């Protein structure tokens, strides 16, 4: 065996030992880092749970103890003062509620049927059914009729200043010739769109005076009136909103139902006050 062979043989165990030592160090470091990462994740979960628990406790505190608390009528007096000189349509009264729900819970959604709608919705109803005509009138339809309305539209005697149109199936044949007149205005009743139904009550309730709402990032904001509305009209709208929101909380599928926290009332340019909701 020559000197070069001896040198190579003597290096092999040394290289193996060095690699083994480094491998052990790398393995130990990886385990330590993994444990540290797991601890960090666990700590984040604990912190999130504590924060949520704190929010739930705060949401249940009596709103009357808040320094910004006010009865609604007093709050409205200040809000109207803040909107003096501005147009009615540019000044909106809004209530906003903090919603505290479990992590991953879906947002609150629904629709409110306001006693005093913020925007007038003019509804046209086509029906020859006397019972359904009465239902439509009771629910606030602006104009209800059958073949006589069809004839008036054909002759251009009826202005189509309506927002929505509905019909019972018995009118489908009579309405067909009006497709080019009603269609472009979005007033052609259609079963697929839910604007043609045997029971008009089910479709009209969601069309006249309703407003959809949806929670965004833990906050639910709902426009409940204009500064020109009376206190009674706004309070009734707030009561309707409260009922709809509370009903929506019962439909959320989570371990615990969401809590409606403190609610504020404000206007477009006014301050915010805490109120009972």
Q: Are residues 159 and 194 in the same domain?
A: yes
Structural domain harbouring 42: 1-59
The CA-CA-CA angle for residues 72, 75, 79, to 5°, reads 130
pLDDT digits (tens, 9 = 90+) for 117-141: 888 788 999 999 999 999 999 988 9
Q: Are residues 196 and 224 in the same domain?
A: no
Please give the tally of structural domains in the chain.
3
At residue 8, the pLDDT reads: 45
Non-local CB neighbours of 106 within 8 Å, separated by 6+ positions: 252, 253, 254
> What's the gap between Cα 89 and its chain centre?
22
Tokens representing 119 are: 């925007």
Please tell me the pTM assigned to this model.
Answer: 0.64
Tokens representing 146 are: 């059958």
Q: Are 276 and 262 in contact (CB under 8 A)?
A: no
Q: What pairs with residue 222 in β-bridges?
A: 95
pLDDT digits (tens, 9 = 90+) for 22-49: 555 556 667 666 666 666 777 777 787 7
At residue 17, the pLDDT reads: 53
Q: Are residues 142 and 175 in the same domain?
A: yes
Q: Are residues 91 and 214 in the same domain?
A: yes
At residue 44, the pLDDT reads: 77
Residue where a domain stops, chosen among 20, 44, 59: 59
Sheet strand arrangement including 273-275: 219-226, 92-100, 259-267, 273-275
At residue 47, the pLDDT reads: 80
pLDDT digits (tens, 9 = 90+) for 223-239: 999 999 999 999 999 99
Note the residue count of the chain.
277
142 closest CA partner among 198, 203, 204: 204
At residue 105, the pLDDT reads: 85
- Residue numbers in the chain where pLDDT is lower than 70: 1-29, 31-39, 209
């Amino acid at each position: 065996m020559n000197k070069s062979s001896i040198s190579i043989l003597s290096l092999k165990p040394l290289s193996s030992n060095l690699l083994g030592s480094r491998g052990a160090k790398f393995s130990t470091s990886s385990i330590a880092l993994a444990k540290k990462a797991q601890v960090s994740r666990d700590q984040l979960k604990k912190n999130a749970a504590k924060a949520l628990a704190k929010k739930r406790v705060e949401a249940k505190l009596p709103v009357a103890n808040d320094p910004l608390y006010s009865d609604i009528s007093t709050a409205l007096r200040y809000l109207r003062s803040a909107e003096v000189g501005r147009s009615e349509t540019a000044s909106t009264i809004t209530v906003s509620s903090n919603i505290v729900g479990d992590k991953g819970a879906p947002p609150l959604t629904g629709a409110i049927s306001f006693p005093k709608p913020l925007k007038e919705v003019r509804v046209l109803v086509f029906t020859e059914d006397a019972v359904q005509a009465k239902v439509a009138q009771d629910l606030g339809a602006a104009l209800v009729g059958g073949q006589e309305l069809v004839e008036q539209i054909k002759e251009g005697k009826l202005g189509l200043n309506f927002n929505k149109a509905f019909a019972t199936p018995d009118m489908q044949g009579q309405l067909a010739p009006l497709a080019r007149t009603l269609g472009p205005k979005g007033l052609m009743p259609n079963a697929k769109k839910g604007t043609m139904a045997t029971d008009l009550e089910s479709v009209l309730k969601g069309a006249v005076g309703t407003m959809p709402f949806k929670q965004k990032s833990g906050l639910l904001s709902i426009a409940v009136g204009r500064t020109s509305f009376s206190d009674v009209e706004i309070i009734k709208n707030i009561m309707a909103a409260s009922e709809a929101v509370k009903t929506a909380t019962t439909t959320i599928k989570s371990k615990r139902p969401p809590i409606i926290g403190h609610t504020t009332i404000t206007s477009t340019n006014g301050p915010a006050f805490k109120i009972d909701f």
